[in-house]
Structure 1
Amino acid sequence: MVLINEFMISGILLGFASGISPGPLLAMTISESLKHGSHAGIKVAVSPFITDILIVSIILLFLLKFENYDPVIALISLAGSLYLISLGISSLKTKSVNLKLDTQKPDSLKKGIIANFLSPHPYLFWIAIGGPILFKAQEASTFSAIFFIAGFYALLVGSKIVIAMMVGKSRGFLKSKYYLYTIRSLGIVYMVFAFYFLKEGLELLN
């Protein structure tokens, strides 16, 4: 049960950090909320539920080929730590939220799906971070893996839905100090996970 809780907490923290950090999907969520109301932003926010089924399946099949090759998994873990460090530094250095908002016609869900498929973020996350954690969770138990995925997507999508609702009501939310402080504090979370991946990678390389 302790392991299950640990993996769920990992999913929740990573999902929340990914959900509120500036990126293409968040920009589109905010854009649609500003122009067409919160309901349009929410349609964009839920698009990972559709796109990531294919994305995650392809990446996990790719990683399964190397699951028993410690050097490959070690290099992936080290790459993941570098990726997390870059995300952490970016979050800690955030001074304001400047997102390019598109001006296309309403078709929110479709635009969200396309944006997520074309964004490198989900691919990088599942290759370098999510995939290795998911395999480790699976080793503990099937429920651990399920709880990790559930925690991750509940917060990834849920946090964007909350932002869409808040932006729909108040455009000043994105400029508030609370939002900026939250993004900066999540930089520390990224660093903690980076240390974990660095440790795992070095152990596999002996």
Structure 2
Amino acid sequence: MTIWAIFISAYFVGFSGALVPGPLLTVTVNESFHRGFKAGPQLITGHAILEIGIVALIATGFYRFVSNNTIFGAVALIGGIFIAWMGWQLAKGAIRQTIRLELDAVPSASKLGPLSLGALTSLANPYFLMWWLTIGAGYVVIAMGRGLAGLVAFTAGHLLSDYTWYSLVSGAVGSGRRYFNQTIYRSVVFCCGLFLLALAVYFVRSGISFLSG
């Protein structure tokens, strides 16, 4: 992949984690209801600080293995399989309308600051950790094939997707949901699912290539 390809694909892959309803989304809706649009970007900044740390840990841990084709291929292959599964689940959920975005807030705002709340809420979500152990780890390994520039491109693209989605959610809550509905949400989820399925092919092919090389 080129640097721009890493950045753009990381941006869209990032939605595979951001779009899935979970604790951070619930907190974002609630805090946006009480604090307005700024709550979304503030919460995601806390989330982003945590993710930058995770990327650094993964990169450090995999650095010594990045020249090992077997390990490189295995991580890419496992990540590709998980990406395919996630893409299928998102697309299927959108078609069957079993996935929905809840924009109803709970009565009171949290007493924690937005940065701490964003990081702690992320850690409380098992899916967050699973994503980074599979898709995230696989992507970091592939990005490291382009050195530090590839790693920066991946991180920037991924974080931009988080800021895009959660800012949109904050804006929707603040505007009284006039500009956002379940149909739009499911359409975005479906497109994200298709993109992940296509990307999974690249990951799996890369993994097989390194394992057989």
Partner of 1:90: 89
Q: Which runs of 5+ in 2 are unaligned?
A: none
Change (3 A) 1:174 1:109: farther
Q: In the TM superposition, what is the alpha-carbon distance from 1:152 to its structure 2 partner?
A: 1.9
Distance 1:60 1:169 in 2: 40
**What SS class does the counterpart of residue 165 from structure 2 fall into?**
helix
Distance 2:44 2:110 in 1: 17
Change (3 A) 1:142 1:98: closer
Q: In the TM superposition, what is the alpha-carbon distance from 1:51 to its structure 2 partner?
A: 1.1
Letter matched to residue 187 of structure 2:
Y
Change (3 A) 1:118 1:176: closer
TM-score when scaled to structure 2? 0.80
Q: Deviations over 1:85-135 (max 9, x none)?
A: 221122112314155966663423322110123334444444433344344
Change (3 A) 1:4 1:57: closer
Partner of 1:197: 203
Range with greater deviation from structure 2 (100-109 or 188-197): 100-109
Q: In the TM superposition, what is the alpha-carbon distance from 1:53 to its structure 2 partner?
A: 2.5
Contact 1:28/1:41, CA 8 A, preserved across alignment: no
Partner of 1:105: 110
Q: 2:166 aligns with which of 144, 160, 164?
A: 160
Partner of 1:150: 156
Change (3 A) 1:74 1:42: same
Q: Deviations over 1:57-98 (max 9, x none)?
A: 222222224323322222222221222122112211231415
Distance 2:101 2:164 in 1: 22
Q: Please list, as runs of the form range in 1=range in 2, the aligned pairs for 1:1-206 lying within 5 A after superposition.
A: 3-92=2-91, 93-94=93-94, 95=97, 96-97=99-100, 99=102, 105-107=110-112, 108-140=114-146, 142-171=148-177, 175-206=181-212
Contact 2:6/2:150, CA 8 A, preserved across alignment: yes
Percent identity (aligned): 22
Change (3 A) 1:149 1:26: same
Letter matched to residue 71 of structure 1:
T
Q: In the TM superposition, what is the alpha-carbon distance from 1:191 to its structure 2 partner?
A: 0.6
Contact 2:7/2:154, CA 8 A, preserved across alignment: yes
**What SS class does the counterpart of residue 46 from structure 1 fall into?**
helix
Let me know the Cα RMSD of the aligned residues: 2.7
Distance 2:68 2:204 in 1: 17
Range with greater deviation from structure 2 (90-99 or 189-198): 90-99
